[in-house]
Each structure stands twice: as structure tokens, then as C-alpha cells.
Structure 1
């Protein structure tokens, strides 16, 4: 197993990304929850109003949401939380953002870049914590990842892309051409694709971009890769992650190994990944929220937080490996699902 490179170097490479875009779907859901109180809260008698805007439903984003709430609970603060899900619809993101701002929330959690963009455009006053966002600065959400300078901060889901490409080489050593699969409307995917291209260039492996603009195009695009590439790389792209069952159905039937950006994509049929833990990512965002709410921390002075490289987990899917004919027995310390 190859040693993980530091995520700090990946942040520098992320500056190759394009400007922010958004992916879409329909509808919204709401949930309000009351939780317990801490010593600090007992002293003030405050009940904090927290809004949550999650871009869409898939396992990684759901885990981030759960981690965030767990951090609030562990801190023991008294809060009411308004859970909203835009179902991957950008117009719904805008509508929900306006609602949360008009409700006068004390803090808003945004899960996914388009969700953060919508809320940031709706308020410059209410503190915003973002999570499951690869590069806050390249996405236009903060002035600088080390010194945000406004009302937005949070935790980044930047993954060790170069190590994921090393993993691809380890599992598919004869790969001559790699297909890069992502949604063009996700700026954070552009960040990771540029990083993957750099790593593939260094390895002397050809690559070609295969893009979708919505989930409806996934099956056709993956089918178009068959016979043209020897392996596929798909980063932590919300549209691809939500449609991973379709990706794996087509790819696995055609013996096409897919290296992916996170653990939940492996669980949904991808071959393998070096992955961050999205629950831990959301928990870190929750800790930041508690600092803002109870200690008066200023988002403008709170650097974007990252999970440590050593916290990344090697994970592989045995059923997928068997189906595509890849031997994963040499993956030491890997979690096999």
C-alpha cells in the first residue's frame, strides 16, 4: 500500500479549479429538533436557531449532516434545528436560503457547494458553516482558505487525489487510458479532476474527460467509455455519488474498474478509494459552529478545517473486484466491504 501524501499539497494543486457552478433537482424537506442544554447554555438561557441546507440526499452528505448534529449534542447546547434538503435543485437552494435567512437563524449549516453559494448570496451577516466543500476559496465562498474574511467558514472534503491515482495504478497496472467522470456543474469536481490529470500526466497515463450535466446522462456517458478507457476515476462529485449505482451497474458489467473519491461511492459499487470520513467531516463543522455560537468566534478569522491525511481510510469492494476481475488481496489494512 502506498503512503498517503499530505492533503496540504493537494490544496495547492486545487488552485487549478474553475469558478463555482451548481447542480440541480427538485423539492425540499423540513425537520425541527430540540436537544439538551450545557452549562454555558444554562447560564444564558439561550436556545439557538440553526438552519441546515443540504444540497441533495446521498450517503456522504447525509453522514456529514449526522456528524454535525452529533457535535452539537456532544457540546450539550440547547438548539432548534430546521433541516432542509434541496433535492439537487439549484432553484430550491435559492428559495430555501431565503427562508432560512428570513427566519433569523443564529447560524446556517450548508452541505455542498451550491447550497453554500445560495446561502452566502442571501446573507452577509448570519454565520455560515459549510461542509462537504472541496475548496472554499476557488468556489468563491471565502477570500482565502486560511483567512476567510467574511461570514463563511467550514470543513473541506478535499481528498488525497494523487494517492487515489496511485491506487488506480496499483490495481490496474496495465491501464493506458483513464476516463475522468464528473458533473460539469460542480466546481469542486473541476478542482479534483485537474489534480487527477496532473497525477496521471506524471505517471505517463493518458486520460480523457467524460462529463454529465445531470444524473439523467450518467448511464449513456458511462456506456460511451466502454472500449475506450481501461479504468475510470470519479471524484467526490455529488451528482456522480448520488448516481453511483448506475455507474457501477454499467462499468462492472463491462469489466471496467472505477476508482472513486469516497467510501460511500465504494459501498455503492465503486472498486476502491482512499477516503475521508464524512461523519467526521460534519462533526468538525459542528465543533466550529459551537465555537461561533457559544464563544463568539468570528468566521472571518476561522481557517477552513481539513481532516488529517492519516485519518483517510483505504476501502475496497470485494464483490466489485470479483465482478471486474481485479485482485485486491494486496491492499494491506484496507476495509473490505
Structure 2
């Protein structure tokens, strides 16, 4: 009798353990590069799910800015056979989408993208209201007209603005096109300085010296990863540097107008929870963030030879 009871007890433990494992959601995460903004997105996402008591096991991959690695990671995720994929930044989302189209068994696996400027141009969704397929997410698309107006506040006589970006990133090309449109309305022109990898960033910054009155970096993963190279050039020749990424202001750019990437990650987590609860990602509209915060670094401005008006300082949400 004791043997029977022991067997029943052990069988119950195994059954409960199997049920707990079945309830756990496996999420494979593919992140493009290791820098503060994208790290904040990841942290916000994980915190949201943890605080809402979603049982999750993660496999986190980082391609460290290498385009070729994004495809390798996507293939590895196919082997993971996860319940959900989260892609942080455009190259990784595109790589996952391409690979999954080749594997029929992945067709029903939901993918949530985040920190992507233009998911439509990237080919990830068919439209914003009804994305289709099994993909939806949160875009970090910023109003470039407001960003260009911000630069003009600091440099009122601006005639030429240097823009650094990776021409191989769809989101960056989309940003530059919108920057050109805004600049044309405001009366100044754009000088492009592309950098296809982090090793090219310093030379790209150097190419702008003597040609422009200021430099602007949009939400470009490649250039922001090597931001210190641009800061070095800007401080040496006293050329004002502005960014879209607010974390870059802490690192040494003069100003940025953006949003909190940690909250961006939490918003992505809330969307993922809807899918885990049973909603079809193809029916969930792509989400955007609209609230912007104004960050200013007076010390950086001084090192780059720019005097900031008192009214600009007073209007800043954060001084670094």
C-alpha cells in the first residue's frame, strides 16, 4: 500500500511539474546592438511581464550591430521553436520575418517588434491598423519636424546640417527622407554622412567638418553605438552635435527630443500580454509613442562652442 501511495505522490509531482512547464511561455528575443536605449527597451519589456505575473522563459540574442549575425540568430530562433519572438530594432525584425517565411511551422508563431521607426517601409506589416500575418509591435517613429525645429532653436542661422546614419538600415533611410522634407520647409539643407558600420563612424563625422554648421544623428543603431567617435570630432572642431536618442545626451550630445525607451519596452510588454492572452497579432494595430521629453547638456554645448539661451535651458525637461 505504501508503494502505491508513493507512486501516486511521485506521479502527481511529475504531472504538476509538467503542467507548470506547459504554462510557461518561451520568448526568443533578437536585439540588434548593445546600447542604452535598446537595453532599456528590453528591461522595460521584461519588467512588464514579470510585474503582471506572466510565467516566461527567455532566450536573448544580440547581433552586436552585425547584419550577417541577424540572420544567424533568426535561424537559431527557429531551432528554439518559441511561443513568441520579440525583435528589437529593424534589421533583426526583418531577418526574423525573412527566415520565418521559409519555415511553415513558424507561420503561426507571433512576432512582436519594438524600437522600429518605419515598420511599413521595412516590409514587416501591410498597414498600421491591421498589420496582417502574425506580426505587430510598437514603433519609435519620431516627429522629425519637431526635431529640426529643436536644432534651429540652438542654431538659428543654420544653413547646412550634417546627418549621420547607416544607409543599410531601412529605418534610418526613412528618417533621413523625413528630415530632408522638414529641413526644406524650415529653410536649410542636409549633407549626408553615411556609415555602414561602427568602424566608419569617425571618418563619416570627419567628412562633415567645414561643410556644415551642426550635426544631427537620428535613431540610428550603428552611429549611436559609436557616438563617442562623433563627440570627439565635434568637441575638437567645436561643431554642435544633436541627437534623436535622449540617452545620447547623457553621453555628450548637446540636446535631444525623444521619449523614454524603458516605457517603450513596457508598452511592448503590454502588447505581448494581449497576444499571450489569445489575441491575434495581425488584428492588433501598430502602436506609437507621442509624448516627447526635451533633454539638454549645457556642458556638452560649452565644449562644442555653443552658448545656450536661458529660455532654452528653462524649457528643458532634463538637464544633464
- TM-score w.r.t. the length of structure 2 is 0.88
Could you tell me which of 206, 217, 236 is aligned with 2:189?
206
Gaps of 5+ in 1: 1-41
Provide the residue aligned with 1:266 in structure 2: 249
Q: Tell me how far 1:43 sits from its aligned partner.
A: 9.9
Q: Tell me how far 1:91 sits from its aligned partner.
A: 2.2
- The reply to whether residue 66 of structure 1 matches residue 43 of structure 2 is yes
Provide the residue aligned with 1:283 in structure 2: 266
Deviations for 1:299-329, whole angstroms, at most 9, x for unmatched residues? 1011111112xx2110011221111232333
Aligned residues: 293
Q: Tell me how far 1:44 sits from its aligned partner.
A: 10
Higher helix share: 2
Q: 8 Å contact 1:160–1:274 — kept in the other structure?
A: no
After superposition, where does 1:1-337 map in structure 2 within 5 Å? Answer: 46-123=23-100, 124-293=107-276, 295-308=277-290, 311-328=291-308, 329-331=310-312, 332-337=315-320
Could you say what secondary structure the match of 2:161 adopts?
A: strand
Gaps of 5+ in 2: 1-18, 101-106
Provide the residue aligned with 2:10 in structure 1: none
Q: Tell me how far 1:45 sits from its aligned partner.
A: 6.3
Structure 1 residues 135-144 or 319-328, which shifts more? 319-328
Q: 1:152 to 1:336 in 2, by over 3 A?
A: same
Q: 8 Å contact 1:101–1:126 — kept in the other structure?
A: no
Q: Tell me how far 1:334 sits from its aligned partner.
A: 2.9
Q: Tell me how far 1:198 sits from its aligned partner.
A: 1.0
Could you say what secondary structure the match of 2:311 adopts?
A: coil
Q: What CA distance in whole angstroms lies between the structure 2 residues aligned with 1:145 and 1:114?
A: 19
Alpha-carbon RMSD across the aligned residues, in angstroms, is 1.5
Q: What CA distance in whole angstroms lies between the structure 1 residues aligned with 2:22 and 2:189?
A: 61
Q: What CA distance in whole angstroms lies between the structure 1 residues aligned with 2:145 and 2:248?
A: 18
Q: Tell me how far 1:239 sits from its aligned partner.
A: 0.4
Q: What CA distance in whole angstroms lies between the structure 2 residues aligned with 1:267 and 1:249?
A: 15
Q: What CA distance in whole angstroms lies between the structure 1 residues aligned with 2:89 and 2:253?
A: 21
Q: Tell me how far 1:330 sits from its aligned partner.
A: 2.1
Deviations for 1:29-51, whole angstroms, at most 9, x for unmatched residues? xxxxxxxxxxxxx9996111111
